[in-house]
A and B are shown apart, each in its own frame.
Chain A
Amino acid sequence: EAGVVQSPRYKIIEKKQPVAFWCNPISGHNTLYWYLQNLGQGPELLIRYENEEAVDDSQLPKDRFSAERLKGVDSTLKIQPAELGDSAVYLCASSRTVDNEQFFGPGTRLTVL
């Protein structure tokens, strides 16, 4: 069984530019999560989807961040415009339901110059 797939693995952009990350969860997993992980810290939840519905986005900075999961499968996370402080690893995870084990992807490492 393939794991959670994320792309790109690395992204370097200049501040004020837009950037997008893509996640393909494990097949059959209804719940999808986006996390932010700063260097030396544990992941912090940005948004959680149940199928195509965002059920917890309280930690998502909505002035510049947006996410979508249009068909309840793949998801994209976008930042526009990016700021220097957005440099971090963006992790995607999925689980069968919200009560099941989460499986994490390898993450996208974003560097904003």
Chain B
Amino acid sequence: GESVGLHLPTLSVQEGDNSIINCAYSNSASDYFIWYKQESGKGPQFIIDIRSNMDKRQGQRVTVLLNKTVKHLSLQIAATQPGDSAVYFCAEISGNTPLVFGKGTRLSVIA
């Protein structure tokens, strides 16, 4: 469920399993979405993006799914590795508005 402030939603997965991280966005006019990975002590790092005219995009071990009907975005990570442990943020852009980040999800990979 939703968490505020220090209490990030947390997902714990076994090494080698698939991970699914979800994000609900708020602006139905958003036309571009990005997933970022943020490791401790580092800035966010781009993972994958998707435009609103698509519903799926695949990268290396990652897939982003977009459901505009319910304003939902998901990030799927295949064969999760310890190095995938981080906080993951979705972000949305609408036209010329600034990048708006959603609440993060902390992914913990159990070796």
- Tell me the A residues contacting B by CB distance below 8 Å: 4, 38-45, 48, 56, 91, 93, 98, 101-107
Contact = CB atoms under 8 A, between A and B. Distances in A.
Interface string B6-23: 111000000000000000
B99 A102 contact: yes
B98 A42 contact: no
Give chain A's interface secondary structure class.
loop
B7 A40 contact: yes
A39 B41 contact: no
A41 B98 contact: no
Interface residues of B, number: 22
Contacts of A4: 43
Give chain B's interface secondary structure class.
loop
B101 A102 contact: no
Interface of B: 3-8, 41-46, 49, 89, 91, 96, 98-99, 101-104
A45 B103 contact: no
Contacts of B103: 41-42
Contact of A107 (B43, B46, B91, B104): B43
B98 A93 contact: no
B54 to A, nearest CB: 17
B5 A48 contact: no
Contacts of B99: 45, 102
9 contacts: A40-B3, A40-B104, A42-B91, A42-B104, A102-B99, A104-B45, A105-B43, A106-B43, A107-B42
